[in-house]
């Protein structure tokens, strides 16, 4: 979609509609909308920056976990520390399905199950990809709004 042809008011409406749709799909919860509302107090690029940082950090965290899980001897304490990081950031960001997928990882860690950890990680990666795909339109809208504001 070409957002450049739309007026700013229409883009703002589309952004809020997109957020609502993500909430309806239960991909995000009310924390995501709260993150969007912080944009007014923290600068025009705050929400866009937050989305990009979350997606990149979550991906990096899952890559670190995978690296540990594929070792001959799995360090479940390290996986646990990455689990805490990912679950916390997902909760704060409002990525409720990633946060929920983290619960499966916690169970596998508690049971010292390498296979269970790998299955949980696979689910977390799937949820991350799904959220990332759905956030692409929001990212593009935010980029267009930011470029207009910067003139």
**Hey, where are the domains in the chain?**
7-150
Structure tokens at 21: 């749709």
Per the CB < 8 A criterion, the answer to whether 83 and 109 are in contact is yes
pLDDT value of residue 17: 96
pLDDT value of residue 96: 96
pLDDT value of residue 133: 96
Superfamily of domain 7-150: HPT domain (1.20.120.160)
pLDDT value of residue 44: 85
Query: Among 24, 19, 58, which residue's Cα sits nearest to residue 35?
Result: 19
Q: End-to-end CA distance of the chain: give it in Å, rounded.
A: 21
Tens of pLDDT, residue by residue, the chain (151 residues): 788 888 999 999 999 999 999 999 999 999 999 999 998 888 889 999 999 999 999 999 999 999 999 999 999 999 999 999 999 999 999 999 999 999 999 999 999 999 999 999 999 999 999 999 999 999 999 999 999 888 7
Q: What sign does the CA torsion over 124, 107, 26, 57 have?
A: negative
pLDDT value of residue 128: 97
Within 8 A by CB and 6+ apart from 34, the residues are 94
CA angle 110, 83, 31 (to 5 degrees): 125
């Amino acid at each position: 979609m070409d957002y450049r042809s739309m007026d700013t008011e229409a883009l703002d409406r589309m952004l809020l509609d997109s957020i609502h749709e993500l909430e309806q799909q239960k991909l995000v919860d009310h924390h995501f909308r709260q993150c969007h509302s912080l944009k007014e107090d923290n600068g025009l690029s705050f929400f866009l920056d937050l989305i990009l940082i979350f997606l990149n950090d979550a991906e990096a965290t899952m890559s670190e976990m995978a690296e540990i899980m594929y070792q001959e001897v799995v360090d479940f304490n390290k996986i646990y520390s990455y689990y805490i990081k990912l679950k916390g950031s997902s909760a704060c960001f409002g990525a409720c399905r990633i946060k929920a997928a983290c619960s499966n990882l916690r169970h596998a860690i508690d049971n010292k199950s390498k296979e269970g950890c790998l299955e949980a990680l696979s689910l977390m990666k799937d949820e991350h990809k799904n959220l990332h795909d759905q956030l692409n339109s929001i990212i593009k809208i935010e980029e267009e709004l930011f470029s207009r504001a910067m003139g």
